[in-house]
């Protein structure tokens, strides 16, 4: 009888261990699925944002940008959400083309950092810049169930030898 008891205990321990491992594997799988879903959402938002910038659709950008947005442009200016949107409305900033590539997304719960390269033709303060490549860093935070851009920074890529002008 004692031998059977130990055997049953060993079997129960094994079943418990398999259950714990299975649960951990499932949680890891769910986390990966969630992370993939988040990345897909952010890429979709980036696409919507690019189209809104091209179309100067301030109402869309107003919904995507946090009220406390911190924006640093390649000239080193630090702008608020109101200033960024006002520049588009006034025509101080006009986008003619926008293209993103080399995008990497880093997910930490309800915070996502997107970094990549942006190539655009735009006019800022009356100066036309064609095919300028920039590195960008966007920080998104989920607030009340909605992803918002809370910080944006960009810098001109020093070597523009692959087409484009230096600014």
Q: Give residue 22's pLDDT.
A: 44
Q: What is the pLDDT of residue 27?
A: 52
Determine, yes or no, domain membership for 89.
Answer: yes
pLDDT tens-place string over residues 116-162? 999 999 998 899 988 889 999 999 999 999 999 999 999 999 876 65
Residue 84 covered by a domain: yes
How confident is residue 7, by pLDDT bands cut at 50, 70 and 90?
low
Q: What is the mean pLDDT of the chain?
A: 84
Query: How far apart (Å, rounded) are the C-alpha atoms in residues 49 and 44?
Result: 9
pLDDT reported for residue 32:
59
- The answer to whether residue 122 sits within a structural domain is yes
Position 15 scores a pLDDT of: 46
152 part of a folded domain: yes
Q: How many domains does the chain have?
A: 1
Give pLDDT tens digits for 112-121.
999 999 999 9
| Position 19 in a domain | yes
Q: What pLDDT sits at residue 2? A: 46
pLDDT digits (tens, 9 = 90+) for 53-106: 999 999 999 999 999 999 999 889 999 999 999 999 999 999 999 999 999 999
Distance separating alpha carbons of residues 66 and 72, to the nearest angstrom: 15
Residue 35 lies in a domain: yes
User: Is 58 inside any structural domain?
Assistant: yes
Contact 133, 117 (CB under 8 A): yes
pTM: 0.76
Which residues are within 8 A (CB) of 157 and not within 5 positions of it... i.e. 6 or more apart?
117, 133, 134, 135
Give me the domain span that covers residue 111: 2-156
CATH of the domain at 40: 3.10.450.50
Q: What is the pLDDT of residue 158?
A: 86
More confident residue, 2 or 118: 118
Whether 8 is in a domain gets the answer: yes
Residues with Cβ within 8 Å of 43's Cβ and at least 6 positions away in sequence, in order, are: 103, 105
């Amino acid at each position: 009888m004692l031998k059977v008891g130990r055997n049953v205990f060993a079997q129960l321990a094994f079943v418990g261990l398999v259950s714990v491992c299975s649960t951990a594997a499932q949680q890891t799988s769910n986390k990966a699925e969630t992370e993939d879903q988040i990345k897909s959402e952010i890429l979709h938002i980036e696409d919507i944002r690019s189209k809104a910038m091209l179309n100067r659709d301030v109402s869309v950008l107003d919904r995507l940008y946090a009220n406390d947005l911190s924006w640093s442009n390649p000239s080193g200016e630090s702008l608020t959400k109101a200033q960024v949107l006002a520049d588009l409305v006034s025509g101080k900033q006009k986008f003619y083309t926008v293209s993103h590539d080399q995008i990497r997304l880093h997910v930490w719960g309800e915070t996502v950092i997107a970094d990549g390269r942006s190539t655009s033709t735009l006019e800022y303060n009356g100066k036309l810049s064609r095919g300028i490549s920039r590195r960008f860093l966007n920080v998104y935070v989920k607030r009340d169930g909605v992803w918002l851009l809370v910080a944006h920074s960009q810098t001109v890529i020093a070597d523009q030898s692959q087409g484009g002008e230096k600014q």
